[in-house]
Chains A and B, each alone.
Chain A
Amino acid sequence: MTVKHLLNEQLLMGYAAGILPEAFDLVVASHLSLSDESRAMLGSYEAVGGVVMEETESVEMTADALGSVMARIKSGKAIPQKPTLRPTKPGVLPEPLQDYVGGDVEKIKWRSLGGGVKQAILPTSGKAQARLLLIPAGAAVPDHGHRGTELTLVLQGSFSDKVDHFTRGDIEIANEDLNHQPIAGPEEDCICLAATDAPLRFNSLIPRLLQPIFRI
């Protein structure tokens, strides 16, 4: 499988740096699970991160830091891990997405939007929102514009808009300049993962991430 539409530099760098909103991280991680080329590119952006960290002015650790770390290692107590559910079954949904859904497509809790179109909003922190969309084969999503950035990742089937034709693994990056009417391909129902940061602009999200947010 060759994925044709890849992430741009800003998103790859943002993911490598860890500064994207959670909803965008989810789209990027899902895309990376489907595109070896994007994943290889990510490696280079992470290398840049390593270089930047190396060159950042260091700040002295507390006096007993090493001793305390060695003591924690020897006590054998693991660092508490955040909960993740990682099913092993490959499916339509890439693993990072299955973690959010609690399984593959059959576990998605769809809500009808009319005209056969369905959506399921996924729980993410921050103001960017992630949702799964199901567009019946051959059907159209109402024409819409974007107030912020919208990322759309195809997971099943395909869709076309005036930009191009998008298939599994492809990602479309749309901003406020783009008004489009995606139409699902005739071969099967199209399932996409979409994330939007509207009505916020991209830049206003980043400072929010620097606040300790536990749940919104």
Chain B
Amino acid sequence: MDPTEQKRSQGDDWNAHILRVRNHRDEAAFAALFGHFAPRIKGFLIKSGASGTMAEECAQETMITLWHKAHLFDPSRASAATWIFTIARNKKIDAFRRAARPEPEDLPWGPEPAPEAADALALSQETEHLASALNALPEKQREIVKRAYYGDLTHSELAEETGLPLGTIKSRIRLALDRLRQTLNEPVK
């Protein structure tokens, strides 16, 4: 099977795996997530400058955090890969710094108790489009984007436009904005 095709069908599947961990503490689902994501997290962290030992430890801690924080996973806000990326990123920063990284305030995401399945599906499709769009970028641009995420860019490269087609996830941004605007409190003036 074409690898892109395979990934495409797997995006939703990984979401479902996390939901099984969340709802049923399903160890088989967790093992499958571990098999897929842990080596990728480790590879990503090594590319970002971590030693093999540190990358292994961060990858393990990321997966432990996934288990413990599965109740925070919301497939209408982030895909499985996106959510796991943010956990791994924070583990990396925590390993480098004395204090936790500053995170934005938690904002409520609207009065509805459960995200609509349609939102989750739209997000999942847009993330897939984003992946194909990233792969469709010219080699040089694609490399710049990847190296930006590894923290491996020179000043001039960082200033260069990446040409990332973020318009492909426009409707996700709109959804997120609509939700936030419904609930965002006016800050103190």
What is the interface of chain A, defined by CB distance below 8 A to chain B? 1, 9-10, 13-14, 16-19, 22, 25-26, 28-30, 32-34, 36-37, 39-41, 43-62, 65-66, 68-70, 72-73, 78-79, 81-84, 90-92, 94-97, 99-100, 125, 168-169, 201-203, 206, 209-215
Contact = CB atoms under 8 A, between A and B. Distances in A.
A36 B180 contact: yes
A-side interface mostly: helix
B25 to A, nearest CB: 9
A82 B99 contact: yes
Contacts, number: 244
B39 A50 contact: no
The winner among B27, B104, B172, B189 for most chain A CB atoms within 10 A is: B104
Contacts of B63: 69
B154 A203 contact: yes
Nearest to B170: A44
A56 B78 contact: no
B162 interface: yes
B52 to A, nearest CB: 8
B102 A25 contact: yes
Interface in B124-151: 126-127, 130-131, 134-135, 145-146, 148-151
Contact of A96 (B30, B35, B90, B104): B104
Contacts of B24: none
A87 to B, nearest CB: 11
A33 B67 CA distance: 27
Nearest to A149: B155
A46 B44 CA distance: 14
- How extensive is the interface on chain B, given as a class? 35 or more
Contacts of A34: 187
A13 B135 CA distance: 18
A57 B130 CA distance: 19
B68 A78 contact: yes
B102 A47 contact: no
Interface of B: 7, 27, 30-31, 34-35, 38-44, 46-50, 52, 54-56, 59-61, 63-65, 67-68, 77-79, 81-86, 88-90, 92-105, 107, 126-127, 130-131, 134-135, 145-146, 148-155, 158-159, 161-162, 164, 166, 169, 172-173, 176-177, 180-181, 184-189
Given A17-B149, A47-B79, A95-B105, A65 B56 contact: yes
Contacts of B78: 43, 46-47, 50
A122 B38 CA distance: 36
B82 A1 contact: no
Given A56-B40, A61-B42, A51 B130 contact: yes
Given A17-B148, A210-B49, A213-B96, A56 B81 contact: no
Contacts of A66: 31, 34-35, 38
B39 A47 contact: no
A1 B97 CA distance: 34
Contacts of B86: 46, 49-50
23 contacts: A17-B149, A17-B151, A22-B102, A26-B102, A36-B180, A36-B181, A39-B176, A43-B77, A46-B82, A50-B83, A50-B86, A53-B40, A57-B43, A58-B42, A69-B64, A73-B64, A82-B98, A84-B99, A90-B188, A202-B155, A206-B153, A210-B96, A212-B96
